[in-house]
Amino acid sequence: MSRFDVVALGELLIDFTNNGESSQGNPLFEANPGGAPCNVLSMLQNLGNNTAFVGKVGNDFFGRMLTERVKKQGIDVSGLLVDPEIPTTLAFVNKLPNGDRDFSFYRKPGADMMLTADDVVSVKDIIGDGEVFHFGTLSMTAFSVEEATRLAVDIAKNSGALISFDPNYRAPLWDSEKKALDAMRFGFESCDILKISDNEVELFTGISDVEEGARRIKEEYNIPLVFATLGPDGSMALYKDMVVKRDGFINPDTIETTGAGDTFCACAIDYVRRCGIKILSEEQLGDCLTFANAAASIITTRRGALSVMPTWQEVEEFLQK
């Protein structure tokens, strides 16, 4: 028996999300705990999983705030390290009139980039004691943390863990698109479970048809299970010879989409962890997509993600409505 159901490695940061304007007409931003891998763990905790996070924050107010919030969610923080010099990474998320998001990162460098291979060695028992290991590409935007990520994936693979990967592409954080695509390629080569967005499918393959592009990635890299998200249009799962699709839930209370993909990803990981990956039926995949789409819809009605993930009961009540 593994000590942890899911272990994740990557960025932990503050998402400053737009929260209106002051009386003087200045934009107001709310400091929300964030970072895709830890958002995923937070939702997994709400679904009854035992999780652990590996990453780095700064020795500052934001780093201490993040550590306390992650602890409060029940996530094990034995692998959360503190950099004595580099500050905690900050991201400002502004919602555009068309519904898209504009990101401004304060990360040159940020503490999450300071994770090293030696750090990973120091917490290898945590990484090696997870049933599932989850990561993304933002922990591969600089040499040191990329080396740490690759080592962690090797440790997890050698321990027999399922590998889950979400590219979570953020253009402003890459020196070049080629480097981002190389990081995606490593993730595709390594993973058993892939969660990828429609935009990322097109970026990597040049194919605008999401099903065709996702199928090409699945077949070229021999990935057992691929989940492709389509924004408000729902999602699809590609497994063996099956392609299963489910519509999304248009929520009139949506205020922003930060964390929707992470919420979906967590639900997918949870379902696979409970049901296994070797034999999944079309009905099971459909149920997984429906639940994950619903959970993602709920998080769009809340600012931030990590601290406000929906519970299993909230998702079930939403579906019953």
Q: Output the domain CATH number for residue 201.
A: 3.40.1190.20
Per-residue pLDDT for 296 more than 60? yes
The predicted pLDDT at position 133 comes to 98
Per-residue pLDDT for 216 more than 80? yes
What's the pLDDT band for 27 if we cut at 50, 70, 90?
Answer: confident
What distance in Å separates the CA atoms of residue 62 and residue 228, rounded to the nearest whole number?
33
Per-residue pLDDT for 34 more than 80? yes
The predicted pLDDT at position 94 comes to 74
Average pLDDT over residues 96-106: 72
Q: What is the pLDDT of residues 188-213, one digit of tens each?
A: 999 999 999 999 999 999 999 999 99
With respect to residue 30, please indicate whether it lies within any of the assigned structural domains: no
Block residue for tokens 């922003």: 256
With respect to residue 94, please indicate whether it lies within any of the assigned structural domains: no
Total domains, the chain: 1
The predicted pLDDT at position 245 comes to 98
With respect to residue 46, please indicate whether it lies within any of the assigned structural domains: yes
Burial of 168 (0-12, 13-18, 19+ CB in 10 A): buried
With respect to residue 157, please indicate whether it lies within any of the assigned structural domains: yes
Per-residue pLDDT for 96 more than 80? no
Coil, helix or strand at residue 17: strand
The predicted pLDDT at position 100 comes to 63
Per-residue pLDDT for 98 more than 60? no
Per-residue pLDDT for 24 more than 80? yes
What distance in Å separates the CA atoms of residue 3 and residue 128, rounded to the nearest whole number?
9
The DSSP bridge partners found for residue 193 are 164, 225
Per-residue pLDDT for 127 more than 90? yes
Average pLDDT over residues 38-63: 98
Instruction: Measure the CA dihedral 189/241/167/265, to 10°.
Output: -130
With respect to residue 103, please indicate whether it lies within any of the assigned structural domains: no
With respect to residue 21, please indicate whether it lies within any of the assigned structural domains: no
Average pLDDT over residues 165-171: 96
With respect to residue 178, please indicate whether it lies within any of the assigned structural domains: yes
What's the pLDDT band for 17 if we cut at 50, 70, 90?
Answer: confident
The predicted pLDDT at position 16 comes to 92
Taking the CB of residue 65, how many other CB atoms lie within 10 A of it?
15
Average pLDDT over residues 146-159: 98
The predicted pLDDT at position 295 comes to 98
The predicted pLDDT at position 99 comes to 56
State the chain's mean pLDDT as an integer. Answer: 95
**Parent domain of 64:** 4-11+35-87+109-320
The percent of residues in the chain predicted with pLDDT above 70, rounded, is 98
The percent of residues in the chain predicted with pLDDT above 90, rounded, is 89
With respect to residue 121, please indicate whether it lies within any of the assigned structural domains: yes
Average pLDDT over residues 213-227: 98
Per-residue pLDDT for 20 more than 90? no
